[in-house]
A and B are shown apart, each in its own frame.
Chain A
Amino acid sequence: MDMNQPIGATPLDGKPDGLVGRPIDRIDGRLKVTGRAPYAYETRDLKNPAYGFLVEAGIAKGRIRSLDVSAAKRAPGVLLVMTHENVPEQGEKKEQVYPQLQGTEIRFHGQPIAFVVAQSFEQARAAAALVRAEYDVQTPEASLKAARPNAVEPKPAQTPPDSELGDFDGAFASAPVTLDVEYTTPVQIHAQMEPHATIASWEAGPDGDRVTLFTANQMLNRGQTSLASVLKLKPENVRLVSHYIGGGFGSKLQPQPEAILSALASRSLKRPVKVALTRQQEFHVATHRTDTIQRIRLGADETGRLTAIAHESWSATAPGDVFYETSAVVTRSLYAAQNRLTRHRLANLNVPIASAMRAPGEAVGQLAFECAMDELAEHLKIDPIELRIRNEPEQDPEKKVPFSTRQLVACMREGAQRFGWDKRGATGATRDGQWLVGMGMAAASRLNPLMPSQAGVRLNPDGTLTVRMAMTDIGTGTYTILAQIAGEMMGLPIERIHVEIGDTAYPKAAGSGGSFGAGSAGSALYVACDNLRQALLQSAGMNAEGATFSEGRVTSGNRSEALADLAGAQGVEAKGEIKPGAMKEKYSQHSFGAHFAEVGVDADTGEIRLRRMLGVFTGGRILNQKTARSQALGGMIFGIGAALMEAAETDTRYGYFVNHDLAEYHVPAHADVPAIDAVFLPELDDKANPLKSKGLGEVSICGAGAALANAVYNATGLRIRDYPLTLDKVIDGWNEREGAAQRRT
């Protein structure tokens, strides 16, 4: 099915008690709570693996003068030490997947320089520490701030880096009310709990070599293509298996160096090789979210109607890489204004490779933009919700097409009512003991893409149904929602659905990323089930008109058959495919939401504590109320981290992240997360996909941190424009204010 027109009535509609949407427990939950779900490093399918350990460059720019591996090679248990001198020939880089150990040039700290393989993990680790590198060191460029004047226009990603409409400069110059502010966001780290890990097994064969990787990867078919390119194999000879994935958040969208190195080592050793990055290596060897500098200019009339919007963003990645943070893309569709400008610039620095992290673009874009809106509201003495309502566009202001659905205003109103927004005090006016208390809100918006995806289903002779596709579940609940969709379509109870995903041996699927996973893979499954329904009706000679599938039977007119009987001795198979189509161009498709936060700021120490938080979201049809809520809460808590604690600090002299472990890079812990809740407004989006659903995994992080920052302003009157908002910045703000007051007297 090509998504060329709106979807009419479907078998999923009008079933308030149906399987789809029901808050059932995860079908893979039992395996997870008993410790029996095998993650990549834990597979038993590849026997007798050797252990790999990666060695990182200790400088950010320069050349390897010498690499002494003699001691490592002699160390007990060592089977192989791979460096640029003996690494097998590799193919072309593909996207952000690079051939490894290429020559002596070092472009960033943490670039792999050797791979040591031994009989045991302890031996590999000890031998890796014996590798001695000497470098000709050059001074790295690692500061985005310093590189900003020379940043360049990047190659277009999904959309062009720049956009312009009307006459921004003229409108801004003549606007009665203007705002011109700069926000900065730091490097953030995915910090998914399962480090990148692979067990690779290379086999030479008559029709070409093949490699199997049990690996932690979100998008298996994309990984298959890129690994095939780098490893110089036919894509069909590269098999990726990823049944359980310990979180991704973008870090596992593409294979990382450990996958390539273990595959090459397995080729040399003719034996499976397993490797996991250490937590410390995660920070430099794998990707991160770049820091950004964002300038926002708003021009408005006295009533708060925006006449001019400009959002510019600067970001950085490693030399030769083209990834840039699309911070301002969401601004193109969020609020109305006649005159608009967005611009992205990129600096190639001696820093590790930047890539997508949960809601790339929007997450940090809205950290800045939604605070700028709060600043404008404060300036105009208009309620921040009212300001947003006054700038609600009738259609996408840049694409000039209608929104498929847009319930931003409804989300803000519902949230305001539930949260008690009317109790919000004037700036700096609310105190609870030692705590200065404030409330803040922010809007949330995230693009809803659809990706090509395929699915296979098979009705088995015993009346069960097997679903197969190279889809992944990174904690998003994919196993469960696929079973719910298939169960509802075929009228089978959840126990009779077997979901088999996580293997490129199955039909090509979208994978998990960019909020497209459930909608794309679920739609492919919907189409496959629809085809299976037609096939069954046809072979049974039953009338498709008015046929219903329920309780394991198909009924049409006065005939009713058990599916198990129709399956026959061989079973019946069907395939399905979804592709994006004209709906993508004819409608602007986004998930929307609104965040509300209440914080306390310690009046003496400046410590900021979140007290409560609420998110109200729309994401089309909700496929499982329980897992959807979990995902939304997870995104909001990522927002807490972004607002209050997360920052990988770059030592710009050496181009590395100083706090590269989980003790020093702070993510929210239990004690940081008070009572928070997420709710969904009813919605169906018939322009999005046949499920009428939209993505949920990312809209919930968008704007979340800004709501906290705005609450800090409401509590203290301090506008901190440099994330994260830590107590030292609060105290600096107070000191500045005091100094200014003294200067006045």
Chain B
Amino acid sequence: MGSCAALATLGASLRGRAEAAPAAVDPQPQTMPVSLEINGTRHDLTLDTRTTLLDALREHLDLNGSKKGCDHGQCGACTVLVNGRRINSCLSLAVMHEGDSVTTIEGLADGDSLHPLQAAFLHHDGYQCGYCTPGQICSAAGMLSEVEAGWPSHVTDDLTRKASLTDEEIRERMSGNICRCSAYPNIVAAIRDASTKI
């Protein structure tokens, strides 16, 4: 129960009034067909319209690499690439992605050879528990293409020129990905290192 619901209930009972009875029965869940291209493979699914892209991956496709840290777009653990751009997959309903191409952490490596970001995280110890790691890596991949495309950030001095990938730029652009183990210095080192190899 969210806090709003909890407080509403509290408010009602403080006033000593019974709540109006909720609607008799919820309608049956609405489902919709959706077709997603995930890590290069097409998947045709019929999903509850309330299912997030994150839960579609985790609960329906057995792709547990993308993590749920908050389910509210506040931590970045669920970051995946949709059509090449990073998004929080917990904030997006799966059925909104008809025809989209989704890349998750499971799709970054090329067979047995790791993506340069994965290899750099391994080498620089850019994690501890590993729970934020898939999100950090996918986010970094998306972030590097944003820099490449010339997108400025809050700390970019000259908006008319392509930003160079300073540590400050990396930190700013990666701040949507929380790491409570606080591997930040090593994550920044890993991204800096990998950026020269992509």
Interface on A for B, CB 8 Å cutoff?
25-26, 28-39, 41-42, 44, 55-59, 65, 68, 71, 74-77, 109, 120-123, 126-137, 190-195, 244-249, 276, 278-280, 474-477, 626-627, 629-631, 633-634, 636-638, 654, 656, 660-663, 667-671, 673, 675-677
Contact for A121 among B6, B55, B118, B127, CB less than 8 A: B55
Q: Which 5 A-B pairs have the closest CB atoms?
A: A35-B65, A246-B131, A475-B129, A58-B6, A475-B128
Residue of A nearest to B26 (CB): A75
Q: Is the CB of A276 within 8 A of B183?
A: no
Q: Is the CB of B184 within 8 A of A476?
A: no
List A contacts of B181 (CB < 8 A): 193, 247, 475, 630, 634
Complex: A704 Cα to B178 Cα, angstroms: 20
Q: Is the CB of A192 within 8 A of B129?
A: yes
Contacts A59-B10, A129-B1, A193-B132 hold; do A670 and B121 have CB atoms under 8 A apart?
Answer: no
Complex: A30 Cα to B105 Cα, angstroms: 12
List B contacts of A276 (CB < 8 A): 68
List A contacts of B12 (CB < 8 A): 134
List B contacts of A137 (CB < 8 A): 10, 13-14
Complex: A29 Cα to B21 Cα, angstroms: 52
Residue of A nearest to B114 (CB): A33
Residue of B nearest to A42 (CB): B64
Q: Is the CB of A662 within 8 A of B178?
A: yes
Q: Is the CB of A33 within 8 A of B122?
A: yes
Q: How far is the CB of A357 from chain B (nearest CB, A)?
A: 12
List B contacts of A677 (CB < 8 A): 185
Known: A33-B114, A194-B131, A280-B3. 6 other contacts (CB 8 A): A34-B65, A35-B65, A68-B21, A193-B131, A246-B132, A633-B182
Contact for B69 among A65, A130, A194, CB less than 8 A: A194
Complex: A133 Cα to B55 Cα, angstroms: 29
List B contacts of A122 (CB < 8 A): 29, 48, 50-51, 55
Q: How far is the CB of A151 from chain B (nearest CB, A)?
A: 28
Q: Is the CB of A194 within 8 A of B125?
A: no
B42 on the A face (CB < 8 A): no
Residue of A nearest to B121 (CB): A33
Q: Is the CB of B128 within 8 A of A476?
A: yes
19 CB-based A-B contacts, threshold 8 Å: A29-B122, A29-B125, A31-B130, A56-B1, A58-B9, A59-B13, A76-B26, A76-B29, A121-B59, A122-B51, A132-B19, A135-B13, A136-B13, A193-B178, A476-B128, A662-B75, A662-B178, A667-B178, A676-B185
Q: Is the CB of B180 within 8 A of A58?
A: no
List B contacts of A39 (CB < 8 A): 64, 67, 131
Q: Is the CB of B66 within 8 A of A193?
A: no
List B contacts of A279 (CB < 8 A): 69-72, 74-75
Contacts A35-B134, A42-B64, A662-B178 hold; do A194 and B106 have CB atoms under 8 A apart?
Answer: no
B24 on the A face (CB < 8 A): yes
Q: How far is the CB of B129 from chain A (nearest CB, A)?
A: 3
Contacts A35-B64, A193-B69 hold; do A475 and B127 have CB atoms under 8 A apart?
Answer: yes
Interface residues of B in 1-46 (CB under 8 A from A): 1-3, 5-7, 9-10, 12-14, 18-19, 21-29
Contacts A36-B65, A662-B72 hold; do A133 and B9 have CB atoms under 8 A apart?
Answer: yes
Complex: A677 Cα to B188 Cα, angstroms: 13
Residue of B nearest to A37 (CB): B130
Complex: A676 Cα to B188 Cα, angstroms: 12
Residue of A nearest to B123 (CB): A25
Complex: A227 Cα to B1 Cα, angstroms: 25
Complex: A40 Cα to B125 Cα, angstroms: 23
Q: Is the CB of B178 within 8 A of A661?
A: no
Q: How far is the CB of A347 from chain B (nearest CB, A)?
A: 23
Complex: A155 Cα to B79 Cα, angstroms: 46
Contact for B185 among A120, A135, A675, CB less than 8 A: A675
**Size range of the chain B interface in the assembly:** 35 or more
List B contacts of A638 (CB < 8 A): 182
B101 on the A face (CB < 8 A): no
List A contacts of B130 (CB < 8 A): 28, 31-33, 37, 244, 246, 475
Complex: A35 Cα to B133 Cα, angstroms: 8
Complex: A634 Cα to B129 Cα, angstroms: 11
B104 on the A face (CB < 8 A): yes
User: Which of the listed residues B55, B69, B125, B172 has the most CB atoms from chain A within 10 Å of its own CB?
Assistant: B125
List B contacts of A668 (CB < 8 A): 182, 184
Q: Is the CB of B1 within 8 A of A128?
A: yes
B137 on the A face (CB < 8 A): yes
List A contacts of B85 (CB < 8 A): none
List B contacts of A676 (CB < 8 A): 185
Complex: A37 Cα to B133 Cα, angstroms: 11
Q: How far is the CB of A479 from chain B (nearest CB, A)?
A: 11
Q: Is the CB of A134 within 8 A of B171?
A: no
List A contacts of B59 (CB < 8 A): 120-121
Q: Is the CB of B18 within 8 A of A134?
A: yes
List A contacts of B66 (CB < 8 A): 35
List A contacts of B14 (CB < 8 A): 137
User: Which of the listed residues B13, B75, B109, B178 has the most CB atoms from chain A within 10 Å of its own CB?
Assistant: B13
Q: How far is the CB of B113 from chain A (nearest CB, A)?
A: 11
Complex: A30 Cα to B114 Cα, angstroms: 9
Contact for B62 among A44, A77, A629, CB less than 8 A: A44
Q: Is the CB of A55 within 8 A of B1?
A: yes
Q: Is the CB of A58 within 8 A of B134?
A: no
Complex: A278 Cα to B6 Cα, angstroms: 15
List A contacts of B7 (CB < 8 A): 58, 654
Complex: A662 Cα to B132 Cα, angstroms: 14
Q: How far is the CB of A315 from chain B (nearest CB, A)?
A: 23
Q: Is the CB of A663 within 8 A of B182?
A: no
B175 on the A face (CB < 8 A): yes
Residue of B nearest to A71 (CB): B22
Residue of A nearest to B28 (CB): A76
Q: How far is the CB of B165 from chain A (nearest CB, A)?
A: 14
Contact for B175 among A248, A654, A669, CB less than 8 A: A669
B89 on the A face (CB < 8 A): no
Residue of A nearest to B62 (CB): A44
Contacts A44-B62, A134-B19, A662-B75 hold; do A630 and B125 have CB atoms under 8 A apart?
Answer: yes
List B contacts of A29 (CB < 8 A): 121-122, 125, 127
Contacts A134-B18, A662-B74 hold; do A630 and B186 have CB atoms under 8 A apart?
Answer: yes
Contact for B129 among A128, A194, A637, CB less than 8 A: A194
List A contacts of B122 (CB < 8 A): 25-26, 29-30, 33
Q: How far is the CB of A57 from chain B (nearest CB, A)?
A: 8
List B contacts of A193 (CB < 8 A): 67, 69, 75, 77, 129, 131-132, 178-181
List B contacts of A36 (CB < 8 A): 65, 106
Complex: A221 Cα to B177 Cα, angstroms: 33
How would residues 184 to 198 of chain B score, 1 for a CB under 8 Å from any chain A CB and 0 otherwise? 111110000000000
Q: Is the CB of B114 within 8 A of A34?
A: yes
Interface residues of B in 89-142 (CB under 8 A from A): 104-106, 108-109, 114, 118-119, 121-123, 125, 127-134, 137
User: Which of the listed residues A28, A661, A671 has the most CB atoms from chain B within 10 Å of its own CB?
Assistant: A671
Q: How far is the CB of B177 from chain A (nearest CB, A)?
A: 7
User: Which of the listed residues A130, A132, A663 has the most CB atoms from chain B within 10 Å of its own CB?
Assistant: A132
B174 on the A face (CB < 8 A): yes
Residue of B nearest to A131 (CB): B1
B53 on the A face (CB < 8 A): no
Q: Is the CB of A34 within 8 A of B109?
A: yes
Residue of A nearest to B155 (CB): A671
Q: How far is the CB of A281 from chain B (nearest CB, A)?
A: 9
List A contacts of B177 (CB < 8 A): 669-670
Contact for B106 among A35, A56, A132, A134, CB less than 8 A: A35
Q: Is the CB of A58 within 8 A of B10?
A: yes
